[in-house]
Amino acid sequence: MRKTLLGISLLTAGAVALAACGSDSSGSSGSAGSSASAGSSGASTTLGVGYFQSATVGPEVLVAGNPDLAGKIDGKIKLTPIDSGVAGLAELRGGAFPFVSGVGNPPVVGAIANDTKFKVIYAEYFDAAQLIVGPDIKANGDLAGKTVGDLQGSSEDFEIRGWLSKQGLTDKTKVVGFPSEAAVAAAFKAGRIDGAYVEIAQALDLKANNSGRQVVTAEEIAKLGFPSLNVLGVTDDFAAKNRPVVQQFVCQIMHAQAISTGPQADTYITKASGLTGSPASQAIPATKIIPFVPASEELSWFKKPGGTLADGEIAKAYALTGQFLKDQGRVTTVPTAAQITAHLDSSYVEQALKDNCAS
């Protein structure tokens, strides 16, 4: 998201929303309180993690809420809810916690532009947004002269503008930003916009109740060269002092994401859902919607075989996002390739894949 992390909403069919965790606008803080902690061996190291609290059980929550995962980390995990990616990275910069999870392109690139001393160490998942149009839009070209709504200044805004450029519609389709996903959906229902690029909850609602048709998803847009990844980041200072612990955390994040798509998903999600204050009946379907980056594809986002971080997909996406933020007036200059790569570290992923996290 993200980028925007939204709270969940229950649809008429009982589907639960995925929060776009990597967002720029505020998200749901839920009822579980301001923080939650789960530990492993009782070691003195505390792994403070800023995370988006909602019905969705992110990988950091899945680790913290399951002792067999958390127990493989030589430290105690402390989860602290954040309201947005921008706020979360500002808190990280201020020393509130060394890790931040689920933050998307715009806030990360903004932090890079501000020279926040941290590195992206793991690509967690994509947004789950979809472009929904009405029955009068039969083909992509029909969007010429039409208006599409999205969440203003978010990763979704970056994504849909990128997709429109690939369709030759940059100067033909107007994109209007709204303050919330709900506002975008409401405008579509009222007939004030012709398309809505929204997160899964609103997308399902518009398809079920307003004759909406799905045109493209965030995952598909990512493959066109405009990926918005929600990532795990850590401060340089903490990583320098606690590299083995950071490696352990990355390994368990990798394990958690694999579990969340496997046969034991329900059991693990149920155990972890207590940390978010959401019932398992909501957490399980919400979490299973998350489009996680498979471990087999993880390193490819950082760099190609034989390549460098500079020519990797994350660096390319961040460069595009930097230009997007400059056009939006949110940064004065686009971060250079050197600045971007200085904030990427693929070594934890490489080590995890090399020894299958046998540490």
The neighbouring-strand residues paired with 51 are: 81
283 found inside a domain: yes
Q: What is residue 32's predicted lDDT score, i.e. its pLDDT?
A: 38
* Structural domain boundaries, residue 64: 36-127+228-355
307 and 288 assigned to the same domain: yes
Q: What is residue 26's predicted lDDT score, i.e. its pLDDT?
A: 33
10 found inside a domain: no
User: Which of 193, 223, 253 represents a domain boundary (last residue)?
Assistant: 223
Q: What is residue 295's predicted lDDT score, i.e. its pLDDT?
A: 95
120 and 137 assigned to the same domain: no
User: Which of 168, 199, 223 represents a domain boundary (last residue)?
Assistant: 223
Terminal-to-terminal C-alpha distance of the chain? 32
Type and span of the H or E element at 295 = helix 295-302
CB atoms closer than 10 angstroms to residue 327? 11
205 and 235 assigned to the same domain: no
Q: What is residue 200's predicted lDDT score, i.e. its pLDDT?
A: 83
User: Which of 223, 244, 267 represents a domain boundary (last residue)?
Assistant: 223
Note the pLDDT tens digit of each residue in 327-343: 888 889 999 999 999 99
134 and 190 assigned to the same domain: yes
Which amino acid would we find at residue 334?
A: V
104 found inside a domain: yes
- Tell me the three state secondary structure of residue 152: coil
Note the pLDDT tens digit of each residue in 29-46: 333 333 444 444 445 799
Type and span of the H or E element at 148 = strand 147-151
Note the pLDDT tens digit of each residue in 290-349: 899 999 999 999 999 999 999 999 999 999 999 989 988 888 999 999 999 999 999 999
240 and 342 assigned to the same domain: yes
Q: What is the pTM of this model?
A: 0.81
Is it the case that residue 9 has pLDDT exceeding 80? no
Of the pLDDT bands very low, low, confident and very high (cuts 50, 70, 90), residue 197 is: very high
**Count: domains in the chain:** 2
93 and 179 assigned to the same domain: no
- Tell me the three state secondary structure of residue 104: coil
Type and span of the H or E element at 157 = helix 155-166
102 and 232 assigned to the same domain: yes
Q: Do residues 341 and 309 touch, judged by C-beta distance below 8 A?
A: yes
Mean pLDDT of 222-237: 93
Note the pLDDT tens digit of each residue in 14-34: 333 333 334 443 333 333 333
63 and 167 assigned to the same domain: no
232 and 120 assigned to the same domain: yes
Tokens of 184: 């975008």
What strands, in cross-sheet order, belong to the sheet with 118-126?
36-39, 76-81, 46-51, 99-103, 229-235, 118-126
Note the pLDDT tens digit of each residue in 109-135: 999 999 999 999 999 999 889 999 999
Residue-averaged pLDDT of the chain: 87
| CATH code of the domain in which 184 resides | 3.40.190.10
Of the pLDDT bands very low, low, confident and very high (cuts 50, 70, 90), residue 5 is: very low
